[in-house]
Amino acid sequence: MNEIFDKAVEDAKVLKQRPDKADMISLYGLYKQSTVGDPNIERPGFFDWVGRMKWDAWEEQKGLSKEEAMKMYIDLVEKLKIKYGF
């Protein structure tokens, strides 16, 4: 599973078009859950709205095992490859 996940991470970096913000945030949350697990830092402060969005996306994945999150990340990248080109 790790090899497939690593390939999906690389594939996400070379899509023909940059994914929209919602897709990027989803990728981020699943990536963090896959590599770190549940959030282990406090939510960023009010003025760091990008950090808060990223943290919130990660928090939404809380409770997923790393393997579940990897599978969801891989599936999302496959959808993004169709949506944005590869």
* Whole-structure pTM value: 0.93
Q: For the CA atoms of 25, 59, 4, 75, what is the dihedral angle to 10 degrees?
A: -60
**pLDDT digit of tens for each residue in the chain (86 aa)?**
899 999 999 999 999 999 999 999 999 999 999 999 999 999 999 999 999 999 999 999 999 999 999 999 999 999 999 999 99
Res 1: pLDDT: 87
CATH number 1.20.80.10 given to 2-84: yes
Q: Which helix (H) or strand (E) is 37 found in, with range?
A: none
